[in-house]
Every structure is written in structure tokens, then in C-alpha cells.
Copies of this chain bind each other. A is one copy, B any other.
């Protein structure tokens, strides 16, 4: 495997371990974050910390960004002071933030215009997957660019899916996560109803998992406390994928539905239930804690 000089912008809960995995794999990582604390922590881990994003990209043949929202990504890359103006032709730019597909396409177009290769490559798998290097990447862009990025992405993730052209990675992620929210609430309703009817939720979970109700939540992430030892539900809904992160992704999905005139009755309702759950003070709990809206007892265990 060839070694690269990689500029990594955004050292949050996800970005920090991802950058760390690149470093461990033998790449030169030039890291930057607006938070001094994040930079300091990265330096302690051995990464080369830059004083600005434009400093970080000096000498880099690959740029990776992992930022909170569309506006941060656009600010980083676009405009007179954006990175796209500074990068040498041929640089490979990978944005792993979860943002609006339209925003990803805007950056991709500007990158193409500047002779750069661009991939939108949002991830799933949470902080645990980021630390373990087992993330799933949903990728939009040209196949040749993806081929070039593959060895580097494999340093951070276990599954790489080529979803289509520019923006398709983001579009795929928001479709998937909207569906995930529906699976999670639907599964919670079935378990909560079953419990009210006197069923053993362990047995019910197992039967549905192997029947036509089978889905990822029953397989890996059961929301009812006590059914699955490894799930956040069995440790007070700590860790995992936070309610407020799910709410953000559902916001992107609903926004895309508005823009495309799509009808998403269950997905839209899931978004409003998560908003209510967050407003009730549970934004920091794992997203499977939404079962508490149906069975309040689950949140007290």
C-alpha cells in the first residue's frame, strides 16, 4: 500500500478516531479543527496539527473533511477563501460529513471546475465503528475516483458502497437513515404492544426477527431493555447513535422530500416523534430510547 499525505479537517467524535486510523495505517496526517482542545488531543495522539485548514492542505494529495452540517462544508470549500481555490489540480477531496445532497453536488461541481476529484462519502457505524475502523461508507462520485480512494477508505471502514454519481452518497444515507428511524419506532411499537398484551418480549423479538417483521433493529439493536445485552437499551440508552443525530438526519431527509415533492408519511412522522423526544429532554440518549414515548418505564430502568 502506498502512503499518502492526507489533510484531515474536523476532529470531532467521529473525525478524531478516523484521522487516528489513517495515521496508524502509515499515512502522514495533517489535521485541523476550529477547536483548540480537539487539536491538542490530536497532537497528543501523534498527528501533525495545522494552524488552519489552508495550512493543513499544504503538500496533501488527499483532503478529507468531517464536519457538522452543509454550511460548514460549503464554507470550507467554496467562495473566494475556500480550499478549492488553493488545491493543486488532481487532488482527491473526500467529504465524509452528512449533509444535503444538493450541497454535496454544489461542492462537487465546483471541484470539477477546478480540476479536482471529489467524492461525497458519508458514513454510518457511529463512534464505535470509527474507532474500530469498521465504518460503512456510502459514496457518490466517479468510479475511477472511488477506485483511487478505496485503499484509504479501507483504513477507516469495512464496507464501501458506490451509490452513484455526485451527491448519491448523501442521498443514499438519508434514505437509509429515514428508513432506520421508521424501523426503530415500528419495532418499538410492536414490542410495546406485545408487552401490553402479556407477551415475553424476548420471545416476541426472536419470532419477529425470524419472520416477516425481521429488520436491523431486531437483529442488532433491540430497543427493549433486557432483550439484547449488547444493545444501548441494556445500558440506559447510553452510547450508540444519539437521538439528536438521528433528528438531524431526519431533517435532511424531510428537506429532500420537500424539495423533490415526495410523500413520506411514516418518515415525516418519525421525524416529528424524534423532535418531541428530543424536546422532552432525551436528545443525548441513544436513538432507540424513542421506545420511552410508548413505554415510559423503559427510560427509568
Interface residues of chain A, those whose CB is within 8 Å of chain B, are: 101, 124, 136, 138, 159, 161-165, 167-168, 171-172, 174-180, 182-183, 185-187, 189-194, 196-200, 203-204, 206-208, 210-216, 219-221, 247, 251, 253-258, 260-273, 275-276, 278-281, 293-296
Contact = CB atoms under 8 A, between A and B. Distances in A.
Given A175-B208, A263-B276, 16 more contacts: A136-B211, A159-B210, A163-B199, A172-B194, A174-B193, A178-B190, A178-B193, A183-B186, A183-B215, A189-B264, A193-B253, A197-B260, A263-B294, A268-B268, A268-B269, A279-B295
A74 to B, nearest CB: 17
Contacts of A295: 279
The 8 closest A-B pairs by CB, nearest first: A182-B186, A215-B215, A196-B260, A179-B213, A263-B275, A263-B276, A179-B190, A265-B272
Contact of A255 (B136, B196, B255, B294): B255
Given A177-B212, A211-B124, A197 B265 contact: no
Contacts of A251: 258
Contact of A212 (B180, B258, B278, B293): B180
B199 A263 contact: no
Contacts of A159: 210-211
A261 B278 contact: yes
Contacts of A263: 189, 192, 272-273, 275-276, 279, 293-294
A233 B190 CA distance: 26
A175 B195 CA distance: 10
- How often does this chain occur in the complex, in copies? 4
A261 B295 CA distance: 11
Contact of A189 (B180, B182, B187, B273): B182
Contacts of A220: 212
Contacts of A262: 189, 192-193, 196, 275, 294
A265 B189 contact: yes
